[in-house]
A and B are shown apart, each in its own frame.
Chain A
Amino acid sequence: DSGVTQTPKHLITATGQRVTLRCSPRSGDLSVYWYQQSLDQGLQFLIQYYNGEERAKGNILERFSAQQFPDLHSELNLSSLELGDSALYFCASSVTFSASTDTQYFGPGTRLTVL
C-alpha cells in the first residue's frame, strides 16, 4: 500500500458525459501528479500540482482539467468523454516539487470505461 488513495476504483459512463476522479496523496506529500495509462500509449503524464498550484502540463486534452484543494487532495475532471478516453488513470504523490530524492508513489488507479 503506497498510501495514495483514489476513488472510485471503476467508472463506467457514456460518451459525452463528465466524470470526476479523486486522489488523496500520502500524508506529508505536497505534489500530486496525474497519469493516463492506455494499452497503446503506455503511461503518459497529464498534469502536476504542488501545494495547490499547477506546476506542469503534459499531454492533457482541453476537455480535461484538474485542481488541488487546500487539504491537498486533487480531482481530475474529464468532460465530453469519448471512447478513446477509456483508460486507467493514476495519481501519484511526492514530498516536494524540487527535492533531489523526489520519488513518486502511485495510487491504485481508477479504471474508466466509456461506452
Chain B
Amino acid sequence: EDQVTQSPEALRLQEGESSSLNCSYTVSGLRGLFWYRQDPGKGPEFLFTLYSAGEEKEKERLKATLTKKESFLHITAPKPEDSATYLCAVQAGAGGTSYGKLTFGQGTILTVHP
C-alpha cells in the first residue's frame, strides 16, 4: 500500500526565515510526486510535479527536490502570504486498478509571521 508521511505537522516561521518541509513516501513504482498548497476551506492548488530522483523545480520562493525515498519543499525568505497547508501526494506507476489516484500525506501547516 502506498504511504506518504509529511513532517513537521506544523511549522511557524518569521518572515524571511528559510526552512524545509519533508515528505517521505513508499510507493510501488513512482509515477509522479506532487506538491499542492491548500488554503483553509479551499481546494488544493497545484505547485509542482517531480518524476525522478535528482529532479528539482522552482517557483518564486519555493523549490521542490526529489530523492528515491523523500521529497523536500524548500521555502526561501517566506512571506506571510505563504502561510497555508502544503500537501504532498504520490501517484503509483505500477499496473492495477488505481492507476491515476493520488495518495496524500496529512500535510504541513505553515504559518509565517510578519
> Which residues of A does B touch, CB under 8 Å?
2, 4, 31, 33, 35, 42-45, 48, 50, 55-58, 88, 90, 94, 97-98, 100-109, 111
Chain A proximity mask over B91-114: 1 for CB below 8 Å, otherwise 0: 100000111111111110000000
**Given A42-B105, A43-B87, A45-B103: A2 and B98 interface contact (C-beta under 8 Å):** no
- Option from A58, A102, A104 in Cβ contact (under 8 Å) with B98: A58
Interface flag for B16 (CB, 8 Å): no
Q: Is B59 an interface residue (CB 8 A)?
A: no
Q: Chain A residues near B97 (CB, 8 Å)?
A: 55-57
Q: Which residue of A lies closest to B105 (CB)?
A: A42
Known contacts A42-B106, A108-B43; A94/B100 CB under 8 A: yes
Q: Would you give the shortest CB distance from B43 to chain A, in whole angstroms? A: 4
- Decide: A90 near B103, CB < 8 A? Known: A45-B98, A103-B34: no
How far, in whole Å, are A101 and B49 apart by their CA atoms in the complex? 8
Q: What are the nearest 3 A-B pairs in CB distance?
A: A106-B43, A43-B104, A45-B101
